[in-house]
């Protein structure tokens, strides 16, 4: 079916042709006519199905006739900055022959250009909820002419705790409008917000409820935890794994995998929220361009990434939530391409796998791997870990010995001090009030106060603790996902990511 049959006019179809789309994807074929008709829509589709064009194309088609206006008429809300940038790039591409003004609004970058654009007048805005609310609160946003609102990746926005923000935004919108909601999964919660925000919506669904992209081949490899990295290295010897997205549950896990792969001579890029926005963009760029064939990411950081041609998704850590699995594997098999999803499942992850299989209502085939003995690998990995622990214990033992010799020379430390200190022997008390248990006169790293997680800090009392006016000052711990992402301030540098509509090679049509 050609795009023209869906009711799109010549300017839009010209842009589609230039994007080298030959025919609509199933979600586009279903959603475009309904949106053109003016109905509210619930679209159940993952990233990779062509859902962005499914809502952007008919919106632009309808918007073009009125030309530029003073206030925004279309608002798309998406959970992450990356997704906002990607949606806007699509809007620019599809709307290149229209004379409309497009703008992104998101945090972490200077707000002035966004404010200036809103004041000058803009037709189509793509925004994250946080910055938009911020500007709304200061009276900079005028919603009075809004005709279209899209909530994209609504399930993700709920997961990320954006519901209160979205409620406030939607409450400020005109009642007469067309509302579209897209979500990879359709939960009770999503149905709830659809009921609150949409009027008599048409549900457009691709595949069965909550199922992963049909074009993704899935399998499971049962593997002891300690052997996972070796298994990954082994699999990567196969060049058919040409563009691999590896999911790690934690940021530290992602870094660890990257280090081990580097030791094995495999270059990777990592994507997690301890990295600055610039570093994340750089990682995506290296991956997209093929400079590295392996990108290691956490779930949050990988949200909404739009990379064509990912040949394999590897679940290094199995996701505890079935929805995360669906999202992860939706990163491959994009836009009619074929993809593979390989899940490493350790014995302690078997329950999560069972949960997923119940959710999907089908089993995922188990696969044996040739050319590697996972038990041997596990044994070797355990041996290496034991050796490292032995070295650590030896070092502790030596320090204890040195401590004993030192106290023997000084006649021990159990006598009260000359200043009449009556603190219990066997405890070191720092000025910060933290105490550190001692074993044979030597602080034991295993007996730290629960408030003190740093060995250096515990041993030397106050000297390692930042002080102000003689009191310990609270220092910020390692950043968590939320802190680090809200804290980073960045400006995209250099050219935009190269993946453009129709530009990816994919492995289409196999
Ligand atoms: P999305 O699901 O919107 O993230 O789109 C996934 C990818 O498919 C994007 O790179 C789009 O440019 C591409 N795409 C969207 N529609 C089509 C189409 N009809 N034919 C080929 N590629 C498409």
* Cβ atoms of 280 and 271 closer than 8 Å: yes
Question: How far is the C-alpha of 462 from the C-alpha of 466, rounded, in Å?
Answer: 8
pLDDT digits (tens, 9 = 90+) for 297-336: 987 777 656 677 788 899 999 998 887 888 788 777 554 4
Q: CA dihedral defined by 472, 475, 477, 479, rounded to 10 degrees? A: 170
Going by alpha carbons, the residue nearest to atom 10 of ligand 1 is: 501
Name every residue whose Cβ is closer than 8 Å to that of residue 462 and which is 6 or more positions away in sequence: 430, 431, 432, 472
Whole-model pTM? 0.52
Ligand 1 centroid to Cα of residue 446, in Å, is 54
* Cβ atoms of 29 and 1 closer than 8 Å: yes
What is the percent of the chain where pLDDT is above 90?
42
pLDDT digits (tens, 9 = 90+) for 345-367: 999 999 999 988 887 778 889 98
Going by alpha carbons, the residue nearest to atom 9 of ligand 1 is: 501
Question: φ and ψ at 467, to 5 degrees?
Answer: -120, 145
Ligand 1 centroid to Cα of residue 505, in Å, is 11
Of 267-281, 375-389, 412-426, 457-471, least confident by mean pLDDT is: 457-471
Predicted pLDDT of residue 196: 93
Predicted pLDDT of residue 374: 77
Predicted pLDDT of residue 411: 61
Radius of gyration of the chain measured on its C-alpha atoms:
28
Ligand 1 centroid to Cα of residue 48, in Å, is 6
Predicted pLDDT of residue 431: 30
Going by alpha carbons, the residue nearest to atom 5 of ligand 1 is: 50
* Cβ atoms of 275 and 343 closer than 8 Å: no
Question: How far is the C-alpha of 444 from the C-alpha of 436, rounded, in Å?
Answer: 8
392 burial (CB, 10 Å; 0-12 / 13-18 / 19+) is exposed
Ligand 1 centroid to Cα of residue 436, in Å, is 59
pLDDT digits (tens, 9 = 90+) for 257-301: 999 999 999 989 998 877 777 788 888 889 988 899 999 998 777
Ligand 1 centroid to Cα of residue 455, in Å, is 52
Ligand 1 centroid to Cα of residue 49, in Å, is 6
More reliable by pLDDT, 16 or 452: 16
* Cβ atoms of 166 and 122 closer than 8 Å: no
Q: Is the pLDDT of residue 507 over 60?
A: no
Predicted pLDDT of residue 372: 82
Question: How far is the C-alpha of 405 from the C-alpha of 394, rounded, in Å?
Answer: 17
- Common-topology check for domains 3-205 and 216-373: yes
- What DSSP state is assigned to residue 361? T
- What DSSP state is assigned to residue 476? P
Question: How far is the C-alpha of 278 from the C-alpha of 473, rounded, in Å?
Answer: 31
Of 29-38, 232-241, 337-346, 362-371, least confident by mean pLDDT is: 337-346
Q: Which of 25, 331, 338 to mutate to test the pocket of ligand 1 (most atoms within 8 A of CB)?
A: 25
Going by alpha carbons, the residue nearest to atom 15 of ligand 1 is: 50
**CATH hierarchy code of domain 3-205:** 3.40.50.300
Going by alpha carbons, the residue nearest to atom 11 of ligand 1 is: 501
More reliable by pLDDT, 278 or 473: 278
Could you tell me the residue ranges of all domains in the chain? 3-205, 216-373, 426-457
What is the percent of the chain where pLDDT is above 70?
75
Report the DSSP beta bridge partners of residue 219: 342
The CA-based angle 21-23-28, given to 5 degrees, is: 100
Q: CA dihedral defined by 40, 45, 49, 55, rounded to 10 degrees? A: 20
- Which CATH superfamily groups domain 216-373? P-loop containing nucleotide triphosphate hydrolases (3.40.50.300)
Within 6 Å (CB) of ligand 1, which residues are found? Answer: 21, 24-25, 28, 47-53, 306, 308, 334-335, 501-502, 504
Predicted pLDDT of residue 74: 97
pLDDT digits (tens, 9 = 90+) for 117-143: 999 999 999 999 999 999 999 999 999
Nearest atom in ligand 1 to 19's CA: 12
Q: What is the mean pLDDT of residues 163-178?
A: 95
Query: What DSSP string describes 166-193?
Result: HHHHHHTS-SSSEEEEEESS--HHHHHH
Q: Is the pLDDT of residue 19 over 60?
A: yes
Nearest to 39 by CA among 210, 209, 204, 205: 204
Ligand 1 centroid to Cα of residue 375, in Å, is 42
């Amino acid at each position: 079916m050609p795009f023209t049959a869906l009711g799109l006019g010549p300017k839009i179809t010209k842009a589609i042709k230039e994007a080298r789309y030959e025919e609509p994807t199933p979600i586009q074929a279903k959603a475009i006519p309904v949106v053109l008709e003016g109905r509210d829509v619930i679209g159940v589709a993952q990233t990779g199905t062509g859902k962005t064009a499914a809502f952007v194309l008919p919106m632009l088609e309808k918007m073009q006739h009125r030309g530029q206006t003073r206030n925004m008429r279309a608002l798309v809300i998406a959970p992450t900055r990356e997704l906002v940038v990607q949606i806007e790039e699509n809007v620019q591409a599809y709307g290149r022959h229209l004379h409309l003004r497009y703008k992104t609004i998101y945090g972490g970058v200077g707000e002035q250009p966004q404010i200036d654009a809103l004041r000058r007048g803009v037709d189509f805005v793509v925004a994250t909820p946080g910055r938009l609310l911020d500007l709304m609160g200061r009276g900079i946003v005028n919603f009075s002419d809004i005709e279209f609102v899209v909530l994209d990746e609504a399930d993700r926005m709920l997961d990320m705790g954006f519901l209160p923000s979205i409620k406030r935004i939607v409450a400020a919108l005109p009642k007469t409008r067309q509302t579209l909601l897209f979500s990879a999964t359709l939960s009770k919660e999503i149905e709830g917000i659809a009921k609150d925000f949409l009027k008599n919506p048409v549900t457009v669904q691709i595949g069965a409820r909550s199922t992963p992209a049909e074009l993704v081949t899935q399998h499971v490899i049962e593997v002891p935890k300690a052997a996972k990295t070796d298994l990954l290295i082994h699999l990567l010897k196969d060049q058919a794994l040409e563009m691999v997205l590896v999911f790690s549950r934690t940021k530290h896990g992602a870094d660890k995998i990257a280090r081990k792969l580097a030791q094995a001579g495999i270059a990777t890029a990592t994507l997690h929220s301890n990295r600055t926005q610039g570093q994340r963009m750089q990682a995506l760029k290296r991956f997209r361009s093929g400079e590295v064939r392996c990108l290691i990411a956490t779930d949050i950081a990988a949200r909404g990434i739009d990379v064509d041609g990912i040949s394999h998704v590897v679940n290094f850590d199995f996701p505890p939530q079935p929805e995360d699995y669906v999202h992860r594997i939706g990163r491959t098999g994009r836009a009619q391409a074929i993809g593979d999803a390989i899940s490493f499942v350790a014995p302690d992850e078997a329950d999560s796998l069972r949960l997923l299989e119940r959710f999907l209502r089908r089993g995922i085939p188990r696969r044996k791997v040739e050319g590697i003995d996972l038990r041997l690998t596990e044994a070797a990995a355990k041996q290496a870990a034991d050796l490292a622990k032995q070295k650590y214990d030896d070092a502790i033992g030596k320090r204890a010995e040195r401590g004993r010799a030192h106290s023997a020379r000084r006649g021990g430390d159990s006598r009260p001090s000359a200043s009449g200190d009556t603190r219990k022997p066997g405890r070191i008390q720092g000025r910060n009030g933290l105490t550190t248990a001692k074993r044979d006169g030597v602080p034991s790293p295993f007996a730290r106060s629960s408030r003190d997680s740093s060995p250096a800090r515990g041993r030397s009392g106050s000297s390692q603790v930042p002080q102000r006016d003689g009191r310990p000052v609270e220092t910020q711990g390692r950043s968590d996902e939320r802190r680090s992402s809200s804290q980073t301030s960045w400006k995209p540098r250099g050219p935009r990511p190269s993946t453009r509509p129709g530009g990816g090679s994919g492995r289409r049509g196999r």
